[in-house]
Structure formats: C-alpha cells, structure tokens
Amino acid sequence: MISTNHNATNNTHTEGTAPKGPVTEVPELCKDASAQEVEDALKLAGCCLIRNFVSKDIIDQINSECRPTLEQDGAWEGSFFPKETRRAYGLVGLSPTWVNNVLMHPVYQKVCTRFLTIRHWNWSGNRKLWATSRPIINATSCFSIRPGSKAQELHRDDTVHHNRIEAVDVYPEDLSPSAPKRETSLALFLAGTKATKENGATECIPGSHLWSSERMPNADGVRYAAMEPGDAFLMLGSTYHAGGQNTTKDSERLIHATFMCRGILRSEENQFLTIPIETMKERSPAVQKITGYSVSEPFCGWVGLSDPRRLLDPTVPAYSDHQGALEDIPDE
C-alpha cells in the first residue's frame, strides 16, 4: 500500500493504481513493504518514505555508536554544508548495528541491486563473454543539522559520477541487469531523531528524477521528508534534494545516510589495498594523486569529506567545497 506524506489522507493510492499526471508528493510505505513496492515508488517519484524501517531500540543503538565521532567533528569551512552542521563518516567501522540492520537490510539491498546492477557482454576471441557488476557502497555519513543551519542548495547526488541524463515522461520500466540504467547511486537516509520541516528534514522534489540534466531546480515542488526516529527516506541519485533549514532553537535533526553506487565506479586494480600507506608516503605528490589519493571533482574519493592525500601529508590543505568554474571551461 502506497500513500503520500503531504496531505496523506487525501492522496492514498492503493497498489497498482498509479496517479494520473506527474507525482508531486513523497510516497509512503509501511515497514513490511516489499522490494517491488519500493521499486515502484522510486520509479514513480524518485523518492519514498518507509515508516518504522528499524525499531526504537535499534535506532538508539546506532545513535550511540555514532555519537562520539559526530561530536568530534568541527564546523564545515566551505558553503556546501552550513557551519552549524556536524558529520561522521565510515559507518561500516563505526556502527555494527547500522551494518546489520540498515546497510544489509534485504529490501534496501534488493532495490539497489535492481537500480544499480549492470551486465554487459564483449567478445573474448570468438566467445561472447557476459559480465555482471554489482553495487558497492558509495559513501556513508551521519548528518546532524543544528539550530540556525541554513538549507543546502538543491542538488543531485549523482553529480559525483558526472551523470548526464535526458528527460523522460515515465521512468524506464525494465531494470533487468542488461537494460540501460539511469542511476549511478541510490541513498537511504535513516532518521536518528525526529525530522521536521522546522528542524531540517531533507527537502526533495518528487518527480525530478525524470528531468534532464539541463533543467534547473527551484523551490517549486519542494517537499519535506518528515520522519520519526527509525523511519527511512530512500532516494535515487537523480532526484533533487537538500538538507533542510533548521529554524528551531533547540532541536537537532540527525540522519544516518547510506549511499550505494554502481560497482564499476572504481579502478580495476585496488591501489589502496595493494600498496601500503607507508610506501605511498615515499612517492611524489604527482604519483600519489594518480594512484587515487586525490579528489575527482566535484568530490569523489574523499576521506572524511576532505582530500585523501592528507593521510599521506598532513600539510595538504583540507578540501571542503568544490570551487570549480561556474561557467563553461575550455577543454584542456
């Protein structure tokens, strides 16, 4: 059963009866929703809520596993995040409870498999050889939005993968592994605290996953992913969204964010596990950078949302915002 969170009582849809015209609300599902129902909601709106995705006990445990690291974070120095926000990263290491109950949740993993698995064939001599690439983690972060925080700019998360897409009227039906794919990533935001329009609930534009890359987002159509602790908000990498504004005096909005991406979005040889970090410190900055200790603009490859070369040389300046050209830059 799918309903919508904005004026939910007037907008309840039963399974199989798609609304006419573009979707303007965030579909809501209950905790027992199947992977197929979640897939349908994401195809329709680009985002959806799953109520009571994990229990109160589990969310309390995840919060307590992440809190000490979150409190060590300082104010962001650029403009991508407001200075009143705090973050923690590397949740696979920080929170076994999140690993078992969120990252490995069978519905989330099945949905990621559908949207992100790709299969292709190529000639190997005279044989047609098929290969399947399965999703991997793209990023994991806790985002704490504290009183006084402004809203982020509306953005698509797939910008890190330079994804350019055309407008479509309806989302492609066929998600089989060898079908052409629209997404490079898929997020799940788990509410660690209550999230409201007032304290910074994620803003999103339902239906914006169908837009072309040329179309500029604006406040029209923005909705808020209002959640209770333990609810989840799922979103395709092509859906416009932003961390919201916190206009309260004393209410923190905390989410635990999981992002999966296509499995091919990495180097063939795993440089980080092949070459010891101590050996990398002896190499020149140029070699360090092409080995992967660098940020691919706008911000792919970060460690702690900063330049990974700081692990090799602490004097390297911190990377905060992407400061690229705002207009066309000539080809180099």
Ligand X SMILES: O=C(O)CCC(=O)C(=O)O
**Interacting residue ranges for ligand X, rule: CB under 6 A:** 143, 157, 202, 241, 243, 255
Q: Which residue, 3 or 207, is less far from Fe ion as judged by CB?
A: 207
Q: How far is the CB of 50 from ligand X (least distance, A)?
A: 16
3-state secondary structure string across 26-43: CEEECCCCCHHHHHHHHH
Q: How far is the CB of 166 from Fe ion (least distance, A)?
A: 22
**Residue 143's binding partner, choosing from Fe ion, ligand X, none, with beta-carbon cut-off 5 to 8 A by kind?**
ligand X
Q: How far is the CB of 262 from ligand X (least distance, A)?
A: 18
Q: Which residue, 37 or 231, is less far from ligand X as judged by CB?
A: 231
Crossing angle for the helix pair 35-45 and 106-116, to the nearest 10 degrees: 50
* Residue span binding Fe ion (CB under 5 A) among the ranges 108-116, 141-149, 150-158, 298-306: 150-158
Q: Which residue, 241 or 309, is less far from Fe ion as judged by CB?
A: 241
Q: At residue 110, what is the residue type?
A: K
Q: How far is the CB of 296 from Fe ion (least distance, A)?
A: 17
Chain CA centroid to CA 184, Å:
10
* Residue span binding Fe ion (CB under 5 A) among the ranges 72-80, 100-108, 153-161, 177-185: 153-161
Which residues, 6 or more positions from 244, have their beta carbon under 8 angstroms from its beta carbon? 145, 151, 197, 199, 200, 201, 202, 203, 224, 253
Please identify which residue in the block is written with the tokens 């206009």: 247
183 lines the binding site for Fe ion (CB under 5 A): no
| Binding residue (CB under 5 A) for Fe ion from 39, 157, 203, 231 | 157
37 lines the binding site for Fe ion (CB under 5 A): no
Q: Which residue, 117 or 150, is less far from ligand X as judged by CB?
A: 150
- Is 278:217 a contact under the CB 8 Å cutoff? no
